[in-house]
């Protein structure tokens, strides 16, 4: 046992020696980039040659030592996993994701948005001071001697940086990309450390509420198209809230913190929220009651009108501005109405249309030729990577993966100059002349395919 | 619609909250690579820009309106930070990190076209899509990249797992296969990877760049998947119309055999390989010099290598190597040669053999290749006849790597793999340059119809009309002005390349029609309101 430990220690030390030598060589090369064999002094060449040989020798020693430890050395000792809070997207998940993005992107495009992309990390100072308390959730990159970098936390700050860098004032853009937050992940609720955001923003000075209305229209179009059930979009305005807090008697300094309590009303009861405001945040009970009278209201444009009549609220300049804008917003939203539907399809992970199969042995060449013809004609096709696959296996493969058609090559058919085209769903087969095959496949795949 | 008097975490309140611009900035220093200027509507003179930013330092001024915002605490924090008093940071420069860049709308259009084409080829060959996280556990990436390991971006140790940004898409794929105990898979993966290399923007070499990988994992009858990979490379490079190209093919075992036959010790394998790899950029004389002077190779041995590695040709070269008295004694080399012979047969059946060159100088950087290796280069035919076509650079590469998954599997179970990677960044630069040279105008939106009015107080009608178009799936825009001028609206259409305009005014309302105008020809025709959508769809499908 002790012998083994000593041996392991030797391996470790030798490994470090090798790494050290390689590091030396690398930094020397960074300082003096390879000049491609020209203009180097003889001394430099000699030295370089010596270092190389040194490295080789030490590596050879290392390998010998490792070999002594036996075949178990070198096996990984870690657990196979993705980092905490992240996950792979399997083909099935990719197919779903692709469909959802298609809906979202086509909506953004329908509304005339351009698309941009930004790097996954920013200079640390670009992100500093933008996220308040959440700053501790930012992923930093290690200081490896260059600029200090951090992974982007959202897509808004990069957007602002992009606007400033390019001196833009007007742009309607969308950006779909992953962002990174060192949160406490709650996988079941879809809360990850690496996750997608699909942002749409309109930047610029315009006549009031038209862009705002379009944003809401987009939200409705997308949520309808995705068919995830009935939905509701709640709308408010910061100025109305502030005005309301003011007339209820909330001190200025407590605005933000009372706001975040009120925000919880969608998850907890009014009683609990009131307790938090009074008990934890030191709000006077009458003030809390006053707030309660307002915040428990909801309604349509009639509520806006009602609030405009409210004797106290209508005295507050901020609240009036907010209410005015909301009234205008509601007008525009009425003119916009609501949108659309989507198609339901069984989720396949590939889009292959035809499997090229053979009924007998020794037909690989023919399959290769035929599949190549299909690819060249833009048809999505596959074949099994076996020289002599059984027909049954090939048919089963189609059923498993949802491939709708099979082009079967057989000896008799070859002689007759035809290919058997089989529909996987109906199991019907028909002989098609070789020269007509491509057209027949294209004709069939343009019709709606029943994948059952 | 419902008005609620509570903040909802999914909706950012619409109020004048300025864009999150840095509190102070220096104007873009000179013309550094990461500072782009764009010809865009609304470009301000520098002084005007400075004053606008000055206003934005202290909100309000409704500038940015957010649609979806997943964490309310961010909205909260944003407000907080904007409302707190701040210090001026006079030395803050706005830029992207070294070796990275934003992609403007014009660049995105080019990129999307290219990626669409690449992905549709992958799909045509039956590949499934896969995605992995941007970073992996550091230990996953250790010891997979040989000398290149020092180019990996590490994340800071913030008390949790040690992480590194992925360096390629192959190692994550191997990890995925081992993790999910997958024995067979044909997958494609389009994603960004990160390498702390010295960026050479001119040659399109960045630190953050996109890779398009296609790989086939599994034990199959020999060389069929390998041949399909090469077929795919040809389809893509032809389809992108980048001009003539060549795919060099070699095999690790043949290289091993050559080295053995020439008397090169195994310990020098990697070093000599990396020298030979430079034969596409350096002359044999210089490469030989490097091997002798810098890598301690005996001159006679170098000469013997030279006899082999300067060879390239078609399947006849494979035959020739079979006849080589020494090489044919080497077991490794024989295996490699047999596989290459079979490969060429399949490639002939696939109709691409004339694009393939068996090139003994192809050595390839990465450690994990075990069999066939290949690299595609674009050829630029020179003006003068009889000259060797110039080598513009590699745009795609790949090979067989049978041992990688085994390095992840706890029991060391191997899953043989073969794959390819398309170097799309190089392709983007080429296509972008080409479009610039030709002066091709790129549309950055897909808007089909612009909803306009010549009169005042017609906003409501425009809003109603545009909603009808959106609901019918038509891509439409309108100006965010209550009373825009017709000329302005027309100019906008011409600048943005929008083909159609629908114009509504008093007269049209009375008559129950909409004027449909072709922006290009300026011809107008009155269409009955109820036929408008159909007429627009007809025109769009005809164009």
The ipTM assigned to this model is 0.78
* Token output for A310: 């409210």
Instruction: pLDDT band for B9, please (50, 70, 90 cuts).
Output: very low
Which of chain B's residues have a Cβ under 8 Å away from the Cβ of A213? 463
What is the average per-residue pLDDT within B144-173? 90
Residues B237-270 pLDDT 10s: 999 998 899 999 999 999 989 989 998 888 888 8
What is the average per-residue pLDDT within B117-122? 96
Q: How many other C-beta atoms are found inside a 10 Å radius of the C-beta of residue A275?
A: 14
Owner of token pair 């407000």: B79
Q: How many other C-beta atoms are found inside a 10 Å radius of the C-beta of residue B404?
A: 25
Which of chain B's residues have a Cβ under 8 Å away from the Cβ of A237? 13-15
Residues B426-443 pLDDT 10s: 899 888 888 888 887 889
Q: In what order do the strands lie in the sheet with A194-203?
A: A114-115, A171-180, A194-203, B64-66
Q: Cis peptide before A242, with omega less than 30 degrees from 0?
A: no
User: Looking at CA atoms only, how far is residue B325 from chain A in angstroms?
Assistant: 30
Best B6, B50, B95, B218 residue to mutate vs chain A (most A CBs within 10 Å): B6
Is the CB of residue A207 less than 8 Å from the CB of residue B80? no
| Confidence (pLDDT) at A193 | 94
Task: Name which of A90, A160, A165 is nearest B19 (Cβ-Cβ).
Answer: A160
Tell me the pLDDT of chain A averaged across its residues. Answer: 83
Look at B296 and A121; give whichever has higher pLDDT: A121
| Confidence (pLDDT) at B14 | 31
Question: Rounded distance, CA A439 to CA B324, Å?
Answer: 49
Contact check, Cβ <8 Å, B67/A215: yes
pLDDT at A69 over 90: no
Instruction: pLDDT band for B199, please (50, 70, 90 cuts).
Output: low
* Non-local CB neighbours of A41 within 8 Å, separated by 6+ positions: none
Question: Rounded distance, CA B237 to CA B210, Å?
Answer: 17
**Nearest of B211, B127, B74 to residue A94 by alpha carbon:** B127
pLDDT at B191 over 90: yes
Q: Per mean pLDDT, which of A213-227, B58-72, B211-225, B321-335 is the most reliable? A: B211-225
Residues A38-53 pLDDT 10s: 445 666 666 666 776 7
**Three-state DSSP class for residue B453:** coil
pLDDT at B31 over 60: no
| Confidence (pLDDT) at B397 | 94
In eight-state DSSP terms, residue A131 is: S
Contact check, Cβ <8 Å, B150/A26: yes
Q: What percent of chain B has pLDDT over 70?
A: 79
| Confidence (pLDDT) at B24 | 27
Helices of type H across A267-363: 270-275, 285-295, 301-309, 317-336
Question: Rounded distance, CA B237 to CA B212, Å?
Answer: 13
Question: Rounded distance, CA B193 to CA B165, Å?
Answer: 7
Best B49, B126, B265 residue to mutate vs chain A (most A CBs within 10 Å): B126
**Three-state DSSP class for residue A419:** strand
What is the average per-residue pLDDT within A308-335? 87
| Confidence (pLDDT) at B203 | 60
pLDDT at A93 over 70: yes
Is the CB of residue B406 less than 8 Å from the CB of residue B413? yes
Name the residue in chain A with its Cα closest to that of B193: A120
Look at strands A354-358 and A405-409 and give their pairing. Answer: parallel
* Non-local CB neighbours of B456 within 8 Å, separated by 6+ positions: B482, B483
| Confidence (pLDDT) at B359 | 93
Instruction: Determine which of A191-195, A259-263, B398-402 has the lowest per-residue pLDDT on average.
Output: A259-263
Element housing A16 (H / E): helix A2-31
pLDDT at A179 over 90: yes
Interface of A with B in 151-210 (CB under 8 A): 151, 153-154, 156-157, 159-171, 173, 178, 180, 182, 194, 197-208, 210
| Confidence (pLDDT) at A41 | 63
Instruction: Consult the annotation and say whether B168 binds a ligand.
Output: yes
What is the average per-residue pLDDT within A301-309? 80
Question: Rounded distance, CA B378 to CA B350, Å?
Answer: 21
* Token output for B294: 């810098």
Look at strands B476-478 and B449-452 and give their pairing. Answer: parallel
Helix axes A364-376, B224-239, angle to 10 degrees: 20
Instruction: Consult the annotation and say whether B195 binds a ligand.
Output: yes
Contact check, Cβ <8 Å, B19/A382: no
Tell me the pLDDT of chain B averaged across its residues. Answer: 81
Name the residue in chain B with its Cα closest to that of A265: B6
* Token output for B266: 């195994």
Name the residue in chain B with its Cα closest to that of A63: B267
pLDDT at B136 over 90: yes
**Nearest of B212, B216, B205 to residue B236 by alpha carbon:** B212
Look at B210 and B144; give whichever has higher pLDDT: B210
What is the average per-residue pLDDT within A421-442? 92
What is the average per-residue pLDDT within A301-320? 84
* Token output for B526: 């009155």
Q: How many other C-beta atoms are found inside a 10 Å radius of the C-beta of residue B439?
A: 6
Burial bucket for residue B179 (CB in 10 Å: 0-12, 13-18, 19+): middle
**Nearest of B536, B530, B519, B527 to residue B474 by alpha carbon:** B536
Which of chain A's residues have a Cβ under 8 Å away from the Cβ of B225? 385
Instruction: pLDDT band for A27, please (50, 70, 90 cuts).
Output: low
| Confidence (pLDDT) at B499 | 96
Q: In whole angstroms, what separates CA B40 from the centre of its chain? A: 24
Contact check, Cβ <8 Å, B473/A205: no
| Confidence (pLDDT) at B429 | 85
Buried (b) or exposed (e) across B261-274, using 16+ Cβ within 10 A?
bbebeeebbbbbbb
User: Looking at CA atoms only, how far is residue A2 from chain B in angstroms?
Assistant: 26
Q: Touching check for B436 and chain A: CB below 8 Å?
A: no
Interface of B with A in 110-169 (CB under 8 A): 111-112, 123-137, 139-140, 147, 150, 153-158, 160-161, 163, 165
Instruction: Determine which of A20-29, A380-389, B170-179 has the lowest per-residue pLDDT on average.
Output: A20-29
Buried (b) or exposed (e) across B34-57, using 16+ Cβ within 10 A?
bbbebebeeeeeeeebeebbeebe
Look at A387 and B474; give whichever has higher pLDDT: B474
What is the average per-residue pLDDT within B215-239? 96
Contact check, Cβ <8 Å, B5/A379: no
Residues B322-341 pLDDT 10s: 998 888 899 999 999 999 99
What is the average per-residue pLDDT within B414-424? 95
Question: Rounded distance, CA A258 to CA B315, Å?
Answer: 78
Instruction: Determine which of A67-81, B251-265, B380-394, B491-505 has the lowest per-residue pLDDT on average.
Output: B380-394
Q: In what order do the strands lie in the sheet with B312-313?
A: B128-129, B185-194, B208-217, B417-422, B390-400, B372-380, B245-251, B356-359, B312-313
pLDDT at B213 over 80: yes
In eight-state DSSP terms, residue B311 is: -
Cα torsion A330, A331, A332, A336: sign: positive
Question: Rounded distance, CA B162 to CA A83, Å?
Answer: 9
Question: Rounded distance, CA B208 to CA B14, Å?
Answer: 35
């Amino acid at each position: 046992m002790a012998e083994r430990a000593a041996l392991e220690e030797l391996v470790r030390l030798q490994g470090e020696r090798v790494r050290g030598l390689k590091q030396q060589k690398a930094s020397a090369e960074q300082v003096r980039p390879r000049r491609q064999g020209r203009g180097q002094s003889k001394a430099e060449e000699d030295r370089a040659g010596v270092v190389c040989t040194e490295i080789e020798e030490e590596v050879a020693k290392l390998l010998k030592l490792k070999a002594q430890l036996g075949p178990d050395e070198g096996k990984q000792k870690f657990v196979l996993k993705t980092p905490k809070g992240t996950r792979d997207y399997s083909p099935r998940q990719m197919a779903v994701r692709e469909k959802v993005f298609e809906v979202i992107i086509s909506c953004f495009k329908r509304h005339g948005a351009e698309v941009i992309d930004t790097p996954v990390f920013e200079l640390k100072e670009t992100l500093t001071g933008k996220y308040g308390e959440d700053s501790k959730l930012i992923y930093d990159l290690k200081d490896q001697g260059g600029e200090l970098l951090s992974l982007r936390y959202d897509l808004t700050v990069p957007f602002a940086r992009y606007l400033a860098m390019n001196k833009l004032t007007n742009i309607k853009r969308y950006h779909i990309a992953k962002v990174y937050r060192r949160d406490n992940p709650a996988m079941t609720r879809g809360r990850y450390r690496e996750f997608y955001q699909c942002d749409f923003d309109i930047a610029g000075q315009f006549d009031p509420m038209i862009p705002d209305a379009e944003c809401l229209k987009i939200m409705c179009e997308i949520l309808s198209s995705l068919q995830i059930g009935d939905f509701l979009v709640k709308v408010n305005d910061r100025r109305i809230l502030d005005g309301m807090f003011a007339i209820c008697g909330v001190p200025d300094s407590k605005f933000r913190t009372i706001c975040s309590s009120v925000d919880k009303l969608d998850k907890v009861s009014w009683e609990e929220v009131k307790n938090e405001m009074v008990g934890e945040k030191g709000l006077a009970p009458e003030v809390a009651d006053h707030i309660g009278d307002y915040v428990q209201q909801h309604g349509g444009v009639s509520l806006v009108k009602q609030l405009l009549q409210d004797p106290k609220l209508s005295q507050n300049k901020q609240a009036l501005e907010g209410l005015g804008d909301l009234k205008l917003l509601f007008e525009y939203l009425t003119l916009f109405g609501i949108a659309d539907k989507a198609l339901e399809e069984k989720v396949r992970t590939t889009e292959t249309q035809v499997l090229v199969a053979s009924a007998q042995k020794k037909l690989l060449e023919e399959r290769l030729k035929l599949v190549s013809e299909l690819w060249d004609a833009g048809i999505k096709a596959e074949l099994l990577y076996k020289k002599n696959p059984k027909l049954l296996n090939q048919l089963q493969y189609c059923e498993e993966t949802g491939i709708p058609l099979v082009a079967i090559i057989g000896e008799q058919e070859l002689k007759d100059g035809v290919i058997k085209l089989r529909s996987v769903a109906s199991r019907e087969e028909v002989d098609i002349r070789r020269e007509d095959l491509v057209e027949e496949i294209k004709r069939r795949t343009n019709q709606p395919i029943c994948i059952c | 619609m419902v008005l609620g008097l509570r903040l909802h975490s999914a909706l950012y309140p619409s109020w004048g909250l300025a864009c999150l611009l840095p509190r102070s900035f220096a104007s873009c220093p000179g013309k550094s690579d990461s500072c782009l200027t764009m010809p865009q509507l609304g470009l301000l003179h520098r002084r005007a820009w400075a004053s606008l930013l000055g206003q934005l330092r202290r909100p309000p001024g409704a500038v940015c309106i957010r649609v979806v915002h997943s964490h309310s605490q961010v909205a909260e924090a944003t407000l907080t930070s904007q409302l707190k008093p701040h210090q001026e940071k006079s030395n803050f420069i706005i830029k992207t990190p070294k070796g990275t860049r934003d992609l403007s709308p014009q660049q995105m259009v080019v990129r999307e076209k290219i990626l669409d084409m690449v992905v549709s080829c992958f799909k045509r060959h039956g590949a499934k899509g896969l995605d992995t996280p941007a970073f992996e556990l550091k230990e996953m990436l250790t010891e997979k990249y040989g000398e290149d390991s020092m180019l990996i971006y590490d994340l800071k140790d913030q008390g949790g797992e040690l992480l590194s940004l992925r360096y390629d898409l192959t190692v994550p794929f191997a990890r995925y296969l081992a993790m999910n105990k997958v024995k067979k898979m044909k997958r494609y993966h389009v994603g960004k990877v990160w390498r702390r290399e010295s960026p050479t923007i001119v040659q399109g070499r960045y630190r953050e760049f996109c890779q398009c990988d296609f790989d086939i994992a599994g034990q199959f009858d020999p060389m069929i998947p390998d041949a399909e990979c090469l077929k795919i490379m040809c389809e893509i490079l032809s389809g992108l119309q980048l001009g003539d190209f060549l795919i060099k093919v070699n095999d690790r075992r043949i290289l091993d055999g050559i080295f053995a036959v020439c008397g090169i010790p195994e310990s020098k394998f990697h070093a000599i390989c990396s020298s030979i790899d430079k034969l596409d950029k350096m002359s044999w004389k210089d490469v030989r010099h490097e091997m002798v002077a810098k890598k301690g190779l005996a001159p006679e041995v170098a000469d013997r290598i030279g006899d082999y590695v300067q060879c390239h040709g078609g399947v006849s070269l494979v035959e020739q190597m079979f006849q080589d008295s020494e090489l044919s004694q080497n077991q490794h080399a024989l295996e490699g040669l047999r596989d290459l012979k079979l490969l060429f047969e399949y490639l002939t059946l696939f109709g691409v053999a004339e694009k393939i060159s068996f090139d003994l100088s192809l050595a390839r950087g990465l450690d994990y290749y075990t069999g066939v290796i290949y690299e595609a280069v674009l050829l630029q035919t020179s003006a003068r006849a009889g000259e060797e076509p110039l080598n513009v650079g590699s745009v795609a590469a790949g090979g067989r790597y049978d041992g990688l998954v085994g390095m992840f599997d706890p029991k060391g179970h191997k899953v043989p793999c073969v794959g390819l990677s398309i170097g799309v960044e190089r392709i983007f630069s080429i296509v972008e340059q080409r479009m610039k040279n030709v002066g091709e105008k790129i549309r950055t939106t897909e808007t089909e119809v612009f909803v306009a009015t010549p009169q005042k107080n017609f906003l409501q009608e425009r809003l109603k009309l545009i909603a009808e178009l959106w609901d019918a799936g038509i891509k439409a825009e309108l100006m965010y002005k209550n009373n825009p001028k017709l000329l302005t609206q027309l100019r906008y259409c011409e600048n943005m390349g929008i083909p159609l305009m629908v114009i509504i005014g008093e007269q049209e309302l009375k008559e129950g029609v909409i004027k449909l105008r072709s922006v290009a020809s300026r011809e107008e025709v009155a269409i009955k309101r109820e036929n408008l959508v159909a007429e627009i769809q007809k025109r769009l499908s005809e164009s």
